[in-house]
Amino acid sequence: MRVLIDMGHPGHVHLFKNFIREMRYRGHEVKITARDKEITLQLLRRYGFNFVQTGSGKAGDTNLIWEWISRGIEVFKISRRFRPDILLGVGNPSIAHAAMILRKPSVIFTDTEHAKFGNMVTFPFASVICTPSCYCDDIGPKQIRYNGYHELAYLHPNRFTPNPAVLTELGLAEGDPFIIVRFVSWQASHDAGQHGIRDRVGLVKALEEYGRVLITSEGALPPELQPNQIRVSPEKLHDLLYYAALYVGEGGTTASEAAILGTPSIYVSSLVGMMGNFIDLEETYALLYSFTDSNAALGKAIEILKDPASKEKWRGKRERLLEDKIDITVFMIWFIENYPRSFTEMKEHPAVQYSCASVPGDAS
């Protein structure tokens, strides 16, 4: 099988990285195209993946539309030469449009209900739209729901083992209390008009009373916070999240990653209540707390940090989640290798779940 995957964001690299390795191990040919957005290309190089660059991310709706058009043309040209059997992407209009023109199937993954414009120009042209089972919207007959989250494609215990070596890089040891704070740029198309932490300096200074605060930020920090900014290799952030006492931030993906790793997680954003995966993590598993108000978020953070048993409690909650959810990489392999029969089977039996035993010859 020949598979083309277009990466538009660093999170897409994480979602697909194990899938790519497994598919290649199983004899399939996988071609990667990628947009120069944040650390996407850096991650691909770190993981040893060859790729073809197709444009770069630019702020502003007008720039984004022109970028989608130009990238769509590039992806189409590359696809026509590569002749894929199937095309994959995350909320990706370039993939959906190229596949439609080539008369090939496209599978679009998404967990972002509020990306209204991107969804509007992608979903009508896709063959299949794969979402978590907790996804709030009913997309229609093209939708397939799986019992998990994107993050379980790379943070499921079958895929991820934390490495404490990252702590040494930062002068930390296991057991040292530290808090990870993330600030985002709010420049993504689906972030227009949204906001997060109002008083960034005040929040960090308050948290510093309970441990070392490490900041990861998409944009420039004020001078008083720059000493807190971390510069570890981007692929090591998940190791750091695993050992942290707490995560607080505006980054939604990082908030869900921390929660799934069993680290108390606080998400601060005006987008609270719009995304099914956050609702599920909060209401079903109590692994994550969501706030629109920064002061309320800080109060909850201090409450968690004052409880010496918090980390142990979150590890127990994580075990419950892992008992319920599936390894998403396994699902992706099964679904793509068996498409279109897999689509029909899931439509006829929507409650069916696929365990690791469903994919023989796993190379992990």
**pLDDT tens per residue, range 192-211:** 556 679 899 999 999 999 99
Range of lowest pLDDT (30-34, 215-219, 252-256, 349-353) = 349-353
- Find out whether 229 and 217 touch, Cβ atoms under 8 Å: yes
14 lies in the same domain as 52: yes
Comparing C-alpha atoms, which of 24, 39, 15 is closest to residue 159? 15
- Asked, for residue 363, whether it belongs to a domain, the answer is no
Cβ atoms of residues 310 and 264 within 8 Å: yes
- Same-domain pairing of 339 and 312: no
Three-state secondary-structure class, residue 235: helix
For residues 57 and 125, membership in a common domain is answered with yes
Same domain, 234 and 193: yes
Do 316 and 343 share a structural domain?
no
Claim to verify: residue 152 and residue 101 sit in the same structural domain: yes
CB atoms within 10 A of CB 202: 13
Residue type for position 116: K
Task: Report pLDDT for 355.
Answer: 43
Does residue 69 fall inside a structural domain? Answer: yes
**pLDDT tens-digit profile of 268-313?**
998 787 889 999 999 999 999 999 999 999 999 999 999 999 999 9
**Is the CB of residue 178 less than 8 Å from the CB of residue 146?**
no
Residues 132 and 244 in one domain: no
Q: Are residues 217 and 204 in the same domain?
A: yes
Q: 118 lies in a domain?
A: yes
> What pLDDT sits at residue 187?
53
76 close to 98: Cβ distance less than 8 angstroms: yes
| Domain match, 320 and 334 both | no
Whether 300 and 331 share a structural domain: no
352 shares a domain with 307: no
Question: Peptide bond before 162: cis, by omega within 30 degrees of 0?
Answer: no
Please choose, from the candidates 238, 45, 266, the residue with its C-alpha nearest in 3D space to the C-alpha of residue 157. Answer: 238
Separation in Å, CA 286 to CA 8, 279, 290, 310, 314? 31, 10, 10, 12, 8
Kindly tell me if the per-residue pLDDT of 136 is higher than 60: yes
Residue 356 pLDDT > 50? no
CATH of the domain at 197: 3.40.50.2000
User: Rounded mean pLDDT of the chain?
Assistant: 91
Q: What is the pLDDT of residue 185?
A: 74
Contact 270, 292 (CB under 8 A): yes
Q: Does residue 241 fall inside a structural domain?
A: yes
Supply the range of the domain harboring residue 233: 165-324
Cα separation of 37 and 26, whole Å?
30
Q: In the prediction, which pLDDT does 363 show?
A: 46
364 is a domain residue? no
Give CA–CA dist 160/156, Å, rounded.
Answer: 6
| CA gap 122, 96 in Å, rounded | 6
- Is 62 within a domain? yes
364 or 307, higher pLDDT: 307
Q: Give the number of domains in the chain.
A: 2
Same domain, residue pair 137 and 7:
yes
Q: What are the structure tokens assigned to 91, written together?
A: 């909320």
Give the mean model confidence (pLDDT) for residues 223-245: 93
